[in-house]
């Protein structure tokens, strides 16, 4: 299993007091009457953040600006009471000069804290950790260690991967590689798949996402154990901005913001299953075209690919699918639900898809308005799987246990507890296999992401 993120470090209330005190102390230590970097940011009303284009940092889709780093930077700008000004780059060689010449205030781009970088820059508190993997295409010769690497190994210029290989060359003198500024890390994975290069090095979070689309990517060895990621600042930045970042990251660790963002972008990425992923992609090519028009017709309110992902999880796009519990058809409707939705034959693909879409939309509409997407969709999916009553039991249980009943990342921890008597005996609807809706939601999210990616690639 690829471990993407460690559990976020627990920060005690005493630590929070320390962070605030440190911020006040450092803010006072300017040493002269010149305005601090933080004061400049507040005065001009904008926070300038440099980042990289890519699925982990920043991208734009049909719904607007997205990305883990983008959303975290937006929250920091809100924390300061200023607007966010994003300044994206296509390469590290283009990105780093922006912090050196003062074009941006901070770099938020999934940057690893390395020894070389610590000599040149300062860093905000770490928010997660990743490892580095040597990867190759499945079916090619598998190098069991770095001594066995024979072929063209390419990594991104100025990257932490290049630093790692430079350090490892002392132990493996025959190790050789080239660097490139023409491709980013995601594109190098594609180069491996197209057999234009033999190997590259990828971060564990980047790799976990890409293997959902490219299951032929295989891991050879871990070249670097987990190390922290953090935002980067200029070496000569004053303490005002740095202390504000210390306070901000203390808060987002405490209030669950980081946990929520992690779940939004990575919570559905579990242990990689090669067979399941290959089977799904094959079904997209062979089965989906037969039913795509129906998904587009009845899934227009929610994105047809979302409806298609649900149907694949339910039936693998088999209109005659059935389960031992009595649910049947493309959307695995129960007989009572089918009747309520006006479905006369659950084995008719169009009727089943129409009924499933109508039922899911009803569940979405029942979710309180204060709960926004994507959590709103995840709650509706869980209810589709386990039933509305058990979903509400889990939310009430979450609140009793001190979590947020309106946040999926909290409720999904409570759902499996509905299998335990000491918890379900105090619920309205009793026992439920609460771990199943959690896997159900995660699978559908993975299928949906893959469909979106494949659709974009085709376009």
- Catalytic entry in 37, 251, 314, 442: 314
| CA-wise closest residue to 337 among 378, 388, 394, 395 | 388
- Residue 18 has a pLDDT of 39
The residues of the chain scoring below 50 in pLDDT are 1-30
- Residue 270 has a pLDDT of 64
| CA-wise closest residue to 454 among 189, 190, 214 | 214
Helices (H), 148-256: 160-168, 185-193, 204-210, 239-254
Give 274-458's CATH code, choosing from 3.40.50.620, 1.10.530.10, 3.40.50.720, 2.160.10.10: 1.10.530.10
Cis peptide before 374 (omega within 30 of 0): yes
Query: Which CATH homologous superfamily contains domain 13-126+230-266?
Result: Periplasmic binding protein-like II (3.40.190.10)
| CA-wise closest residue to 26 among 236, 237, 240, 235 | 240
| CA-wise closest residue to 158 among 232, 67, 251 | 232
Question: How many residues appear in the chain?
Answer: 459
- Residue 268 has a pLDDT of 76
Cα of 39 vs its chain's centroid, Å: 33
Active site residue 314: yes
- Residue 11 has a pLDDT of 35
- Concatenate the DSSP letters of all residues of 312-375 into one string: HHHHTT-TT-B-TTS-BTTTTB-HHHHHHTT-S-TTSHHHHHHHHHHHHHHHHHHS-TTSPTTH
Q: Where in the chain are all domains bearing CATH 1.10.530.10? A: 274-458
Fold of the CATH domain 129-228? D-Maltodextrin-Binding Protein; domain 2 (3.40.190)
Distances (CA, A) of 311 to 66, 168, 176, 298, 364: 26, 47, 47, 12, 17
* 355: number of Cβ within 10 Å: 25
């Amino acid at each position: 299993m690829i471990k993407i993120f460690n559990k976020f470090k627990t920060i005690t209330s005493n630590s929070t007091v320390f962070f605030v005190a440190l911020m006040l102390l450092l803010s006072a230590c300017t040493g002269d009457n010149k305005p601090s970097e933080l004061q400049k940011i507040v005065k001009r009303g904008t926070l300038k953040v440099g980042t990289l284009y890519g699925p982990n940092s920043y991208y734009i889709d049909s719904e607007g600006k997205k990305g883990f780093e983008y959303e975290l930077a937006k929250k920091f700008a809100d924390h300061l009471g200023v607007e966010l000004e994003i300044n994206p780059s296509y390469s590290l060689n283009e990105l780093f000069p922006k912090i050196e010449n003062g074009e941006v205030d901070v770099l938020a781009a999934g940057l690893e804290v390395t020894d070389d970088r610590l000599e040149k820059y300062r860093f905000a508190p770490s928010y997660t950790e990743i490892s580095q993997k040597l990867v190759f295409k499945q079916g090619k010769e598998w190098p069991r260690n770095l001594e066995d690497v024979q072929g063209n190994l390419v990594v991104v210029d100025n990257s932490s991967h290049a630093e790692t290989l430079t350090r490892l060359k002392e132990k493996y003198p025959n190790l050789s590689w080239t660097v490139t500024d023409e491709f980013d890390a995601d594109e190098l994975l594609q180069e491996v798949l197209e057999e234009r290069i033999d190997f590259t090095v990828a971060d564990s979070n980047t790799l976990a996402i890409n293997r959902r689309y490219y299951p032929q990517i295989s891991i050879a060895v871990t070249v670097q154990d987990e190390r922290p990621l953090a935002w980067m600042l200029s070496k000569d930045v004053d303490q005002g901005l740095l202390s504000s970042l210390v306070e901000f990251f203390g808060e987002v660790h405490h209030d669950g913001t980081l946990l929520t963002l992690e779940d939004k972008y990575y919570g559905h990425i579990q242990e990689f299953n090669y067979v399941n992923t290959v089977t799904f992609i094959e079904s997209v090519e062979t089965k989906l075209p037969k039913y795509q028009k129906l998904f587009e017709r009845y899934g227009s309110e929610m994105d047809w690919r979302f409806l298609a992902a649900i149907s694949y999880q339910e039936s693998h796009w088999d209109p005659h699918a059935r389960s031992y519990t009595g649910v049947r058809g493309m959307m695995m409707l129960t007989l009572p639900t089918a009747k309520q939705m006006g479905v006369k034959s659950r084995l008719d693909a169009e009727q089943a898809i129409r009924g499933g879409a109508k039922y899911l939309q009803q569940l979405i509409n029942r979710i309180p308005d204060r709960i926004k997407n994507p959590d709103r969709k995840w709650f509706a999916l869980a209810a589709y799987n386990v039933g509305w009553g058990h979903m509400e039991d889990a939310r009430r249980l979450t609140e009793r246990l001190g979590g947020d009943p309106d946040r999926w990342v909290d409720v999904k921890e409570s759902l499996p507890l509905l299998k335990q008597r000491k918890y379900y005996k105090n619920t309205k609807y009793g026992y439920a296999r609460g771990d199943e809706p959690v896997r159900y939601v995660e699978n559908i999210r993975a299928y949906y992401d893959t469909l979106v990616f494949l659709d974009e690639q085709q376009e």
